[in-house]
Amino acid sequence: MKASLSIKKSILALQHLIAMFGATVLVPILTGLDPSVALFSAGCGTLIFHYCTKKKVPVFLGSSFAFIPVIVQVAEQYGDLRYAQGGMLVAGLVYVLFSFFIRGIGIEKIQKILPPQVIGPMIIVIGFNLLPTAFNMAKTSYIVAGLTLAVAVAWPYLVKGFLKQISILVAVIFGYILSVALHLVDFTAINNAQYFAVPNFILPLFNIEAIIIIVPIIFAVFMEHLGDITTNGAVVGQNFVEDPGLNRTLLGDGLATVFASLIGGPANTTYGENTGVLAITKNYDPSILRLAAVFAIILGFVGKLGGFLRTIPQAVMGGISIMLFSMIGFIGFRNIRDNHVKLNIKNIIVMAAILFIGFSGGLFKELFGFTIELPITESISLNGLSLAAIVGILLNAILNGVKKDAWYWPFGPRSKKIKAHGFLWRCRSFDWERYTWL
């Protein structure tokens, strides 16, 4: 019985690994980092995350796409990727500090600022903004992508029990065999790979200008993290923002990025692909994600196995990704429905603004060639989900009202608003009626 259970878990873990593999190795390929280090750091980062979150959140951490432009910029400007590592390490430390800030504020304040009419559209943006990436992968062979997608969708209706949970794995196997038959698979990666190889671990270097270039990206990543954790919770049916808490999930994400940067890997982030797998399989056991993390670590050292996974055609992963990303988008609609969001003019304006600005940085940019951006520096600007979240939060506060307590630094059970030297202050550690420190 135990052996059977272990086999089932291993199969489900492999499914998660396959779902995240393409994106995780794509980031280092685009930036010049070592893919084997990326796999190793993703696995270790996931285990760090699970330890920080009391092993409650079924999340896999992979390479963050948000850091690609700044990694490339720093590498070109300074001629050494190690300076980008240093910037990402500092960004991870800032993320850790931010987690403590969130803990001080209290989750109640976060929830007041981020109601369902803000969170729901953010989830929709996350899911559907990823679809162009999926279609770009699928266009290498629409036949393979379409048939792979068809198998993934139809499989749960053809079988019962445990077999329903492995639809993605079955679809990938089918797509791979079909690709081999159509001579679309290049086996060079397998032939050139060693059976055992130690990843190319390297230490970071630090430059203040490189740090300034990279660190602001954490704001965009925070919004992505918040959306992914909320989406994950919506799929599982638990509020992970409350338990184990957003501060813990941020801490896990930050420490994972610090670790990855120390050994030469890309910054880590939560992965929507794995949330899509959860939504399809209906198996929410966090231990399966930890097992997938162990497989990723092993994969970093097994060259032939990594080479094999690299031969999976883009069309196959594109077909699978279309389903995964669509599932995430529809979860956003479900979040709005299940929280009984009132469709009055104020909420409609808030949701429409988030969707329009959010899609302008992804889906609309791909389809129509335009985007809405807020420049920060010459090389950095806020767009997509980050800008949409800011606008949505502010609009909701203006139109629907947010209690003032949600916008202040609230350490303690209650506070008094006072005027001192022309400034408004909030203080929880001083009793202003008795003029004494508590």
The answer to whether 199 and 40 are in contact (CB under 8 A) is yes
Q: Is the pTM of this model over 0.75?
A: no
Query: DSSP secondary structure string, 2-67?
Result: HHHHHHHHHHHHHHHHHHHHHHHHHHHHHHT--HHHHHHHHHHHHHHHHHHTTT-----EEE-GGG
Q: Which residue has the tokens 């290498």?
A: 140
pLDDT interval class at 419 (50, 70, 90): very low
Identify the pLDDT of residue 210: 86
The residue among 201 and 404 whose pLDDT is bigger is 201
Residue 16 is predicted with a pLDDT of 85
Higher per-residue confidence, 124 vs 58: 58
| Pairwise pLDDT comparison (238 vs 69), residue with the higher score | 238
pLDDT of residue 409: 41
Grouping H, G, I as helix, E, B as strand and the rest as coil, residue 130 is: coil
pLDDT in tens, 383-398: 677 678 788 888 988 8
Would you state the pLDDT for residue 368? 67
How many CA atoms lie less than 13 Å away from 191 in the CB half-sphere? 4
Could you state, in order of their start, the residue ranges of all structural domains in the chain?
Answer: 2-343, 408-437
> Residue 438: its pLDDT value, please?
39
pLDDT tier, 414 (very low <50, low <70, confident <90, very high otherwise): very low
426: pLDDT strictly greater than 60: no
For 268-283, b where at least 16 C-beta lie within 10 A, e where not — what string? Answer: bbbbbbbbbbbbbbeb
For the CA atoms of 35, 38, 44, 47, the dihedral, rounded to the nearest 10 degrees, stands at -110
Q: What is the pLDDT of residues 24-49, one digit of tens each?
A: 776 786 677 888 899 999 999 999 99
Reported as a single tens digit per residue, the pLDDT across 297-331 is: 998 898 777 677 778 888 988 888 888 778 778 87
Residue 153 has pLDDT above 70, yes or no: yes
Each residue of 55-92: pLDDT tens digit? Answer: 999 999 988 877 876 787 788 888 889 999 999 999 99
pLDDT digits (tens, 9 = 90+) for 166-192: 787 888 889 999 999 999 888 887 888
Residue 377 predicted with pLDDT over 70: no
Whole-number pLDDT of residue 376: 62
